[in-house]
Structure 1
């Protein structure tokens, strides 16, 4: 490693692991569900908890209002001089815990349970994203405890709306660009290849997320009197959804594939060398094989390099106990498309809306709501900051980090590039089976521990970039 005093920092991380877990438990107990107005005060409370924690580590930290949930911004001057300036981005809000009956313990009552990889932390937000955020906060703590400061200048940006589309993020970054500008950004909301193999994510899919409400008759109707007479909005919605894909899984929205560039032979060869076990991955979710999506592509290619269109929820009519013979006046669906580089989210959204409206009979209307959207991202792999992060992971794990893609979307990465002009190092420690957004979400204790150690080493390696310039 570079001639920086990091060994004592790593020892401090190891010695304080139990206390780090307790602090993580404290923030996991706050139900900061951003999408549900009933949890507004809890979201505010989580923001204040994060600001107080950073202030206790020597940061100048504040909870900053937006038109929605607040941001947390914190600044640490570091050692001064020409040390690199790093921006750390994460989010403190979480997904709803529903369905509650499927949790083995309270979603906001974190527990340590024994499992095949040792102990694991189970709670909503354990890995997405509170646990991941705490990996670098605890790394900051270890550096402060051992050396009294951090080896780099650090800015922290935490948002409270990532799980509900980040509506306040772009305006906030634009308005505070001078304060947030840095040399590179570190984003923790990603994962490892497996529990022993570190990884850095270099590509993210983008997203378009739309809600559509179809409306027909002026009121709910008796199905005996009107069945077979009027077009049932639920039947109509189901038919339109069924037409989104052809028999080979190809998406039928007009112009959807116009800007999609197929993965090259070299890229596919690199993915093949990763040794991805499709059958094993599917077995973890109780399925025999990966049969979704476009025919003719491997599972990993469909996940990292092909666009998708999926129904995330449908609602309409009577859904209570027993029966009610009703033709509902309206039907709703939430539909998202994952995008690849060069696809325009705005154009995809417009073409999706046209796809729906072109299929409406006379007298029927469609109302659309834009829940969120972001372009796909591909991070340059020759950045000195990415190189330093790979070196740091090798320092901790004793092996080179893979460069991988992911099927998910992190809108902030695109916003940070667009408004601050910097690329992000996507450095996370989650695993494929962490049940993100599902009941019994978890974070392996060994991953949490190695995440703290890795972020401590990253700070040392990043500081070494300045030293190497002489």
Structure 2
């Protein structure tokens, strides 16, 4: 039996104990956005620091202005890359509580009629179950061989679900300690329940809010209608003009830096058996929108967007109140791809908005932080090694996929610490993260542990 086979056998034999340890972590109510759970967040950090130390990765709890970080190291100058594994121990609030079938922080293993099993609890998938796949893989490696095959640094944060306000300062202060050759990030998903995936594209984002003001007060629509400017109409015109009839965004220069999908990826994605009708059908829709002539997966992974996230103005209460409002509001976000510049996109948007404001009206802007898109070279060695490890475990080629959302930490790792990230996770689209009855497949947990063991083994090879 080879060394990796012995490690995998140990993982299999230890699965029940691994699951019990995950349940212990899940029971800690580490909701980062609610100050009432501050002590729970510190408790979760302490639990992880002790667990890492016990398995042979000496770790400590590091204070920040918010919730603490956990940092651990096991390194001795081994051949191969020095990797940094990142995860987060904080979780989303559980509201609405009445929709949970059982206590969100009392994890349970549910067996379906077909024999498959799922872990149900807050944090089961996002991100406690995911980060523990790596911890348990490291445990098995050290227990079986006495060491890890590559040098490893571990970074767990406790504010990912509340915007990571302490992360940027922490990375700045600890740049030298945390700079490695490669980051491993587990906060991602598989393509489907039997097909592993490596995420190689992340969209960036920039946001803005507008407040359009006209009259000095709300006006009677009978007395002033047809004469006075209505801010609601102005905002509606701004929104209507953002897209043309083909679905393209009309801002001048908006597509600067947007690249077409490489032919090799276009071919791979066309073969992924993605049904846009099924994708939309799950949320009660039928008809796709977006730029004409693009693959459905391009719309959600590699094309930029302009979306209105909220709009309001005038009377919002029950019944009718016939007013022309003094002001109207709207919130916008733009998902970015390729080399789009967040600042240039925001400037173009604001210039467009100003061009739509009548002479006797004004507009104010409230900026939201922006970050550019990120992508990995599919041919980089770490991706190739990740593909080999995942195929060995799952028996199928890993899909190289994009992500419609953003993971800001990946950009911070690149821009601040100068390292690329290998994004491998084992969540599924139906895990209901951020929603009641969040779940994580037992298969994802078990094979996720085995997969990380194989990834570490592959990375250690020349």
Given the alignment, which residue of 84, 91, 95 partners 1:87?
Answer: 84
Given the alignment, which residue of 246, 249, 271 partners 1:248?
Answer: 246
Q: 1:292 to 1:456 in 2, by over 3 A?
A: same
Q: 1:411 to 1:287 in 2, by over 3 A?
A: same
Contact 1:198 1:400 in 2 (8 A): yes
Partner of 1:468: none
Matches within 5 A, 1:267-416: 267-289=265-287, 291-314=288-311, 322-323=318-319, 325=321, 332-361=329-358, 362-370=360-368, 372-416=369-413
Deviations 1:78-124, CA, capped at 9 Å, x for gaps: 6x543531111222333444444544444444333344682222333
Partner of 2:419: 422
Partner of 1:155: 153
Matches within 5 A, 1:442-461: 442-461=439-458
Where in structure 1 are there 5+ consecutive unaligned residues?
466-470
Cα distance in 2 between the residues matched to 1:169 and 1:455: 25
Instruction: Report SS of the residue matched to 1:156.
Output: strand
Instruction: Report SS of the residue matched to 2:55.
Output: coil
Partner of 2:119: 121
Per the TM alignment, residue 183 of structure 1 is displaced from its structure 2 partner at its CA by 2.1
Q: 1:56 to 1:203 in 2, by over 3 A?
A: same
Where in structure 2 are there 5+ consecutive unaligned residues?
none
Q: Which moved more, 1:236-245 or 1:203-212?
A: 236-245
Q: Which moved more, 1:219-228 or 1:429-438?
A: 219-228
Deviations 1:27-46, CA, capped at 9 Å, x for gaps: 33444444455554444443
Cα distance in 2 between the residues matched to 1:44 and 1:252: 48
Matches within 5 A, 1:98-177: 98-115=95-112, 118-177=116-175
Per the TM alignment, residue 263 of structure 1 is displaced from its structure 2 partner at its CA by 1.7
Contact 1:206 1:408 in 2 (8 A): yes
Deviations 1:333-386, CA, capped at 9 Å, x for gaps: 44322111111122222323333344345354424132x322211212233322
Cα distance in 1 between the residues matched to 2:281 and 2:212: 37
Partner of 2:188: 190
Per the TM alignment, residue 222 of structure 1 is displaced from its structure 2 partner at its CA by 7.8
Q: 1:351 to 1:91 in 2, by over 3 A?
A: farther
Deviations 1:176-202, CA, capped at 9 Å, x for gaps: 221112221111122112111112122
Cα distance in 2 between the residues matched to 1:354 and 1:39: 43
Instruction: Report SS of the residue matched to 2:286.
Output: coil
Q: 1:287 to 1:74 in 2, by over 3 A?
A: same
Cα distance in 1 between the residues matched to 2:301 and 2:439: 23
Contact 1:224 1:325 in 2 (8 A): no
Per the TM alignment, residue 60 of structure 1 is displaced from its structure 2 partner at its CA by 2.6
Partner of 1:258: 256
Cα distance in 2 between the residues matched to 1:41 and 1:229: 58
Cα distance in 1 between the residues matched to 2:57 and 2:145: 15
Given the alignment, which residue of 417, 429, 434 partners 1:432?
Answer: 429
Per the TM alignment, residue 218 of structure 1 is displaced from its structure 2 partner at its CA by 6.4
Instruction: Report SS of the residue matched to 1:127.
Output: coil
Contact 1:375 1:411 in 2 (8 A): no
Deviations 1:401-421, CA, capped at 9 Å, x for gaps: 222222221222222122222
Per the TM alignment, residue 428 of structure 1 is displaced from its structure 2 partner at its CA by 1.0
- TM-score computed with the length of structure 1 as normaliser: 0.85
Coordinate RMSD, CA, aligned = 3.2
Q: 1:349 to 1:123 in 2, by over 3 A?
A: farther
Per the TM alignment, residue 331 of structure 1 is displaced from its structure 2 partner at its CA by 5.2
Cα distance in 1 between the residues matched to 2:219 and 2:14: 64
Matches within 5 A, 1:205-244: 205-214=203-212, 236-244=234-242
Instruction: Report SS of the residue matched to 1:63.
Output: strand
Cα distance in 2 between the residues matched to 1:417 and 1:340: 16
Matched, 1:20 2:18: yes
Cα distance in 2 between the residues matched to 1:38 and 1:334: 29
Partner of 1:60: 58
Q: 1:234 to 1:28 in 2, by over 3 A?
A: farther
Q: Which moved more, 1:116-125 or 1:402-411?
A: 116-125
Per the TM alignment, residue 217 of structure 1 is displaced from its structure 2 partner at its CA by 6.2
Instruction: Report SS of the residue matched to 1:309.
Output: strand
- Matched residue count: 459
- TM-score computed with the length of structure 2 as normaliser: 0.86
